[in-house]
Structure formats: structure tokens, C-alpha cells
Structure 1
Amino acid sequence: MKIDIALLISIISVVTVLLSSLKNSKKQDFSEVEKKAVETATINVKLDAIGNDVKDIKYDITAVKREVTSLTERMIIVEQKTKSAHHRIDELVGTEERKE
């Protein structure tokens, strides 16, 4: 009977230890999963913010390209008008020199 009681106590102890370790490992697994989920969510939010910033920069660059194109076209027109004005001035100066 003494052996049976000792064996019974041993079995109960082993079962208790196994259940306790299983319960603790599940808690640790859950806390790890929770930490990873928080980290992943944080990374996703940061990546979304970076993606939005990149889109904003892309739109800004496109706007700057349009402005440069517009300014280039305006500059060409001004250069043409300047050439024309110089040509007319040269003709007027040449005409006045001939009169004198």
C-alpha cells in the first residue's frame, strides 16, 4: 500500500508539472505572437506612411517638370521676341546712319 501511495503521488506530481509547463508555454507563445503582431502592425503603418510620402514626392516632381516645361516655352518666346526687337533696332539704327 505504501508503494501505491508513493506511485500515486509521483503520478499526480508529474501530471501537475506537465500541465503547468504546458499552460506556461501557451502563455509565452501567446505573448510572443502578440508582440510580433504589434511589431508587424507598426512596420505596416510606417511602410504606409513612407509609401504616401513617396507618392507626394512623385506628384511634386511631376508638377516641377510641368513648370520647367512651361518656363522653357516662355523663355523661347522671350528669346524670339528679343531677337526680333534687336533686328528691328539694328534696321532703325542703320536707316538713321544712312540719312546722316
Structure 2
Amino acid sequence: MTIELTILLSIVSVSAAVYFGLSGVRRDQKNDDMQETAQLTTVLVKLENINNGINKIESKMDRVESETRANSEKLIKVEESTKQAHKRIDEIVQKGGIDSEN
């Protein structure tokens, strides 16, 4: 009878150890999954922030490009106007309207 009690006690002990071991593994796996999910969420949020920053930079670059084009057009007009003004000044000087030695 003592052998049966010992065997029964051993079987109960092994069963309890297996049960608690498996439940510990499941709990650890669940915690690992939660931590991994939190890390992936953090990475996704950071990537979205980077994407938003890039979109803002692209928008600003578009504005800078359009302003540069506008400034180039204005510069061309100013150069043309200056060129015409110099021609008129040269014509006036050639006609003798202004003393060119001064």
C-alpha cells in the first residue's frame, strides 16, 4: 500500500509540475506577445511620424520651387527692363542730350 501511495503521490506531483510548467510557458508567451505588439505599435507610430515629416518637407519644397520660378521670371523681366533702359540711355548720350564726359 505504501508503494501505491508513493506512486500516486509521484504521479500527482509530476502532473502538477507539468500543469504549472505549461501554464507558466503560456503566460510567458502571452507576455512576450504583448511586448512584441507594443514594440511594433511604437515602430508603426514612429514610421507614421516620419512619413508626416517627409510630406511636410515635400510640401515646403514645392512652395520653394514655385517661389524660385516666380523669382526667376521677375529677374528676367528686370533684366529686360534694365537692358531697354541702357539702350535708351545710350541713345540719349549719342544724341548729345547728356554730356558723356561727366
1:56: which partner in 2?
56
Structure 1 residues not aligned, in runs of 5+: none
Can you give the 5+ residue segments of structure 2 that lack an aligned partner in the other structure?
Answer: 98-102
Task: Give the TM-score of the pair, scaled to structure 2.
Answer: 0.93
Matched residues in 2 for 1:14 and 1:41: separation? 40
What amino acid sits opposite 1:29 in the alignment? Q
Distance in structure 2 (CA, Å) of the matches to 1:17 and 1:53: 54
Counterpart in the other structure of 2:28: 28
Structure 1 ranges of 4+ moved more than 4 A: none
Aligned ranges for residues 1-100 of structure 1 at < 5 Å? 1-96=1-96
- Following superposition, the deviation at residue 3 of structure 1 comes to 1.1
Distance 1:2 1:25 in 2: 34
* Higher-helix-fraction structure: 1
Q: How many residues align?
A: 97
Offset at residue 96 of structure 1 (A): 1.1
Shift of 1:26: 0.7
SS in structure 2 at match of 1:57: helix
Of all paired residues, the percent bearing the same amino acid is: 31
Q: Tell me how large the CA RMSD over aligned residues is.
A: 0.8
Q: CA deviation at 1:14?
A: 0.2
Higher relative contact order (CA 8 A, sep 6+): 2
* TM-score, normalised via structure 1 length: 0.95
